[in-house]
Amino acid sequence: MNFITGKHLPRRTFIRGMGATVALPFLDAMMPAGRLWKSVAEQVDRPRLVAIEMVHGAAGANADIGAKKHLWSPAEVGRNFTLNNDSALKPLEKWQDYLTIVSETDCRMAEAYRPEEVGGDHFRSSAVYLTQSHPRQTEGSDVFVGTSLDQIYAQRYGQDTPIPSMQLCIENIDQSGGCAYGYTCVYTDTISWAAPNEPLPVIRDPRVAFEQLFGAGSTAKERQARRHANQSILDWIGDRVAELQRELGSVDRQRMERYMEDIREIERRIQLVEERNTSGDVREIPEAPAGVPDSFEEHVKLMFDLQVLAFESDMTRVSSFKMGRDSSARVYPESGTDRPFHPASHHGGSEPQLMAFNLINRYHVSMLPYFLERLNETVEGDQTLLEKSLILYGSPMADGNLHNHRRCPLVLLGHANGQLEGNMHLKAPPGTPMANVMLSLLHSLGVDDMNSFGDSTGAFSLSAPSASALARARQ
């Protein structure tokens, strides 16, 4: 190849061999000769969207103790806020320049609208999170809620990627039929809806997600043969990679080497998990597939790494990640408490019990810096993936003890290609739907022809508040 004379690699370039298909990251060789990144960015560069849900709300959403101790939302509104030592968001302090906290918004569509819906908050909340619509109560196949934010973006700007969107999860979703209070389990199992009656399947096993990204064997038999031979997918494409490396400049060669090393390392970690889980030793979560780590942290980090690779290779620009499942009794000993998750959320208004739940909230948030670091060290064109990403992290439930949906926890991370300023705490007026924030996010992502979303009443400003707005927020 001769890149000097104007020839260049297409952005969508794959290396194939023996059933494996590896998409390349963005390389300088993909730039037309003599042109700057800004001149082509509009055609090849789109914000990455990651929507993360954590169930059961947060201790900071408790109005009596949590809010007064600022366990989620800081005391200051606007820029240069302080995350106190008890804040569940304290692990994000290093990343404050990329952090936008949006407090006091409501997910009213998760509330009971009819007497027979009372008590079913855990079994409809996840379906509301990204749709901001009220689910139809049913235990059958006639589900109906709304199209989710991630899928609206994927349908508009993800159709030119090999995978329009990825849906990942941590907890068990292998349930069918009714869960409780007249709701089918599908409302609890997924947060991504391609249409109001079309929930999208979710991947729990890192091995499955890996093979979705890299086409590691075109048939099940081929994949099994490769695993038994203890071969990496990179062994299948080694000759083609070496050939390509000879045609690239030094910077691109280094980028390719790092990218291939990342793929090999993630594959190695998955293999180690599978070997450990099939060794005959007693597992902590025996029902999980062999590729699923027993360790929550190990599982989450693998899923984050897979999302980074997916974004870097432009296999997809959209992912949703369900980090918990309602009514989960999982224990997180690394958090500092041995209380099971769901029982811990029912703190009964007791300050010691609420602070124990806050430890779990903080532990969950502490997973995010790893993802932010990985995105920040991955460069595409003239920016890092963190600069280009919009990450939502929140819950459609507020105070888990009350099962309410007013003043829900929500944070935004990344700069979304310059659409988010970061280092900001935005406090919504009482009664503001979370849907207003999501409508504004859709506008920021380029879906600016939408006038409403879910139960929105208007767009929510994501810019620094005015002096008068700050004065009202302090009242």
pLDDT in tens, 298-310: 999 999 999 999 9
HEC letters along 328-397: CCCCCHHHCCCCCHHHHHCCCCCHHHHHHHHHHHHHHHCCHHHHHHHHHCCEECCEEHHHHEEEEEECCC
Q: Give pLDDT, residue 4.
A: 34
- The whole-number average pLDDT for the span 151-161 is 95
Q: Give pLDDT, residue 43.
A: 54
Alpha helices in 233-286 (DSSP H): 233-236, 238-247, 250-277
Residue length, the chain?
475
| SS3 of residue 167 by DSSP | strand
- The whole-number average pLDDT for the span 51-70 is 97
The model carries a pTM of 0.93
Instruction: Kindly tell me if the per-residue pLDDT of 44 is higher than 90.
Output: no
- The whole-number average pLDDT for the span 58-73 is 97
* Cα separation, 248 vs 326, whole angstroms: 49
* Cα separation, 300 vs 369, whole angstroms: 12
DSSP H or E run through 313: none
Q: Give pLDDT, residue 225.
A: 59
- Least trusted range by pLDDT, from 8-12, 172-176, 250-254, 308-312: 172-176
More confident residue, 225 or 210: 210
Contact 291, 205 (CB under 8 A): yes
pLDDT confidence of 5, banded at 50, 70, 90? very low
pLDDT confidence of 130, banded at 50, 70, 90? very high
- The whole-number average pLDDT for the span 4-30 is 78
Instruction: Kindly tell me if the per-residue pLDDT of 270 is higher than 60.
Output: yes
- The CA-atom distances, in angstroms, between 79 and each of 101, 316, 422 are 10, 33, 8
Q: Give pLDDT, residue 79.
A: 93
Instruction: Kindly tell me if the per-residue pLDDT of 235 is higher than 60.
Output: yes
Q: Give pLDDT, residue 401.
A: 97
Q: Give pLDDT, residue 2.
A: 33
Q: Give pLDDT, residue 16.
A: 84
Whole-number mean pLDDT of the chain?
91
Instruction: Kindly tell me if the per-residue pLDDT of 222 is higher than 60.
Output: no
Which domains are delineated in the chain?
Answer: 1-41+228-287 (no CATH), 46-204+292-474 (3.40.720.10)
Q: Give pLDDT, residue 30.
A: 86
pLDDT in tens, 240-264: 888 888 889 999 999 999 999 999 9
Instruction: Kindly tell me if the per-residue pLDDT of 216 is higher than 60.
Output: no
Instruction: Kindly tell me if the per-residue pLDDT of 369 is higher than 50.
Output: yes
Q: Give pLDDT, residue 40.
A: 56
pLDDT in tens, 427-443: 999 999 999 999 999 99
Strand partners, 102: 426
Instruction: Kindly tell me if the per-residue pLDDT of 113 is higher than 60.
Output: yes
- The CA-atom distances, in angstroms, between 364 and each of 37, 341, 394 are 37, 11, 11
Instruction: Kindly tell me if the per-residue pLDDT of 449 is higher than 70.
Output: yes
Q: Give pLDDT, residue 38.
A: 62
Contact 386, 414 (CB under 8 A): yes
Q: Give pLDDT, residue 34.
A: 55
Q: Give pLDDT, residue 52.
A: 98
C-alpha dihedral sign at 219, 225, 226, 227: positive
- Least trusted range by pLDDT, from 216-230, 360-374, 453-467: 216-230
More confident residue, 381 or 465: 381
